[in-house]
Chains A and B, each alone.
Chain A
């Protein structure tokens, strides 16, 4: 297994342990760096571009309206698979909630805590590995 796949698996494992089953990572320009989102993967190229555009919009709006206080953007969906997008350094990470997760949990705090502890280092390693490839 390559180093990249191992790091991706570690990220997936941490997310899965916390009730998130898919993720997408984009750079400051809204370009997708890494994705493990089944539904996004199956989307057309146009829709994938639209998702990257959405992340770019969020990044731009966050810098204008939230300054450095922006924490998270949530898309609440009727099917329960909510999408959470939040900054990790200069990058943006999007994760999808499992439908069976307890919705009474404070997911925002939970994600912020994950980013500040386990995920941040893994994502830095992933970016380094991708750069060396």
Chain B
């Protein structure tokens, strides 16, 4: 990780062991500047376990599969919070659609707790719903009912209980919802 000295402004490369975390998960760095020998100790604005675009990057990776048409993310209480869908679709339509899809998914999981995904076949399009962490649901629109293996692997990556994707997808929620 690269940080700049508070005294002389020189660039310093830090090792992971020079970064510590407080209980809130915020980073503190402690290092002696290689240029001026000034002893720096300061808080940096990066949260532990956070890779700011980690979740979005996985979504983009999924979207790169030729059979995937689009993706949207729905929160049980907050509604539609993020999507990578063709612009021809209105967000109000996606929200309406999401509510129906997630409702049926939740009823299926309630009845069959080992349910992994629910898939709707509508015309030539297939809509796959999968539960993620923190009351989030991912919905994939695809050309085929079965998802490619590498997409399933990416979906498993998103199901990481040590990570809060809401911080990545909607940091200012509900005041600023980063749709699109």
Please report A residues at the B interface, Cβ cutoff 8 Å.
47, 50-51, 53-54, 57-58, 61-62, 64-66, 69-79, 83, 103, 106-108
Contact = CB atoms under 8 A, between A and B. Distances in A.
Contact of A108 (B114, B117, B145): B145
22 contacts: A50-B110, A50-B111, A65-B96, A66-B123, A69-B122, A70-B122, A71-B121, A71-B123, A73-B104, A73-B119, A74-B145, A75-B108, A75-B118, A76-B115, A76-B116, A76-B117, A77-B112, A77-B115, A78-B114, A103-B146, A106-B145, A108-B145
Interface in B89-126: 96-97, 100-101, 103-104, 107-108, 110-112, 114-123
B118 A54 contact: no
Contact of A64 (B100, B107, B111): B100
Given A61-B101, A106-B145, A69 B120 contact: no
Interface in B126-180: 145-146
B111 A51 contact: yes
A65 B125 CA distance: 12
A72 B119 CA distance: 8
Interface class of chain B by DSSP: mixed
Interface of B: 96-97, 100-101, 103-104, 107-108, 110-112, 114-123, 145-146
A50 B107 contact: yes
Given A64-B100, A75-B115, A76-B115, A54 B122 contact: no
A78 B116 contact: yes
Contacts of B111: 47, 50-51, 54
Contact of A61 (B100, B110, B114, B117): B100
Contacts of A50: 107, 110-111
Contacts of B145: 72, 74, 106-108
B50 to A, nearest CB: 30
B119 A74 contact: yes
Nearest to B122: A66
A120 to B, nearest CB: 18
A72 B116 CA distance: 17
Contacts of A72: 119-121, 145
Given A50-B107, A57-B107, A69-B123, 10 more contacts: A47-B111, A57-B103, A62-B122, A65-B97, A72-B145, A74-B118, A74-B120, A76-B117, A76-B119, A83-B112
Given A76-B115, A108-B145, A54 B97 contact: no
A83 B108 CA distance: 10
Contacts of A78: 114-116
A64 B96 CA distance: 10
Nearest to B123: A69
Nearest to B116: A76
B122 A65 contact: yes
B100 A75 contact: no
Nearest to A50: B111
A74 B144 CA distance: 13
